[in-house]
Amino acid sequence: MNKKSFVPANQCSTGVLPPYMLFELATRAGNERYLDTLSTTMRMHRRSQKQQSANPFARFAGAGNSSIEVYDCNGGESRPGSKARFEGEPATGNKDVDSAYDFTLAVRKYYAEVHGRNGIDAHGMTMVSSVNYGDRYNNAYWDGRQMTYGKGDQEIFASFVILDVAGHEVTHGVTEFEANLRYYKQAGALNESHSDIFGKMIEAYSKNQPVEQIDWVLGRGIFMPGIKGEGIRNMLKPGTAYNDARLGKDPQPDHYSKLYTGSSDNGGVHYNSGIVNRAFANWVIAMGGFEWKKGAKIWFAARAAAGSNPTFAQHAYHTVEACKALGTAADVKKLQDAWELVGVKPSNKVSHDNDGGDDVDVVA
């Protein structure tokens, strides 16, 4: 497929893997399979958009209690697939099915108990997942209606049914309902960063971890043995997650002075998310212990307050304002220090950094 495709700019359309990783794999291996993953994901995205346009309330079906449904595609591409495990049913013995169920339960519990939220849309929409999708489909993807997990090719990718990956992708749905962030340039990088951050917070909450025990690597376990990589992103040290002859080197910048400003990846949404990740991680580490829960609440409040098209500076401003309301003076100082560390100066000044049309040319 071409490196550019026309998609709406207010939703993630590429799944948990950065498009640049799939293009790098395809180029280095001379294997179109990795481009097929990207085109398949975008095809699912378009199909979901059409379904939502035809029946915009379909996502709200269910009892309003965020009930869980897991299906098994058994390597096919018909979704949702065969019924595998529904709310309240016992474990099946199928690792992917049971993990998808347990991880969805962890996501629901986190949002209910930390943020007082009734699921993805705050109104209890059914939480649907399909596992074992496609023939060596290398991705995990929230399409606006449900989660889809590929099996992985067992050459580069071992698994996509991973707790922080599930949290990351489902959080795209929460962000869509909560803030409707544009998926473009700095607002899009914030969208990706929110998914990384809350994916990690879901994992930490599920494991009852103080911040000193949090693993800031997103997707640990996603790679097969022998791949020189710990995961797809390192939130504490952007640009260090992987360096492998088949994958290339992690290209994320760790400071605003190195901001990616090109047109690919929706204007750098996966590249630049690491800058914001680094600020958050360093801030909650400075607060220590279980103060990350307060940090998550502050970030959650700031996301909604910053609107649908904020720059990093505008989002940073709203985090500081939320911290003043929900935290202490010491928390505010540590937050300001964290933003300074990555070169972002909080400001609510209107900026044109995210100007663009209603749609964008995506996705290298």
Q: Which residues are catalytic?
A: 169, 270
Q: Where are the alpha helices (DSSP H) in 116-240?
A: 163-178, 185-207
Residue linked to tokens 């972002």: 344
d(CA 73, CA 62): 21
Is residue 165 within 8 Å of residue 218, measured between CB atoms?
yes
Angular region, 64: left φ>0, alpha ψ -120 to 50, beta rest: left
d(CA 214, CA 203): 8
Is residue 150 within 8 Å of residue 189, measured between CB atoms?
no
Rg, C-alpha atoms of the chain? 19
User: Is the link from the previous residue into 80 a cis peptide, with omega within 30 of 0?
Assistant: yes
d(CA 53, CA 119): 22
* Diameter of the chain measured on Cα atoms: 54
Please report the beta strands in 235-295, taking only residues with DSSP state E, as ranges in sequence order.
Answer: 243-244, 248-249
d(CA 17, CA 8): 18
Is residue 213 within 8 Å of residue 293, measured between CB atoms?
no
Is residue 166 within 8 Å of residue 140, measured between CB atoms?
yes
d(CA 203, CA 273): 19
Give the rounded distance of the alpha carbon of 102 from its chain centre.
18
d(CA 268, CA 259): 8
d(CA 328, CA 323): 7
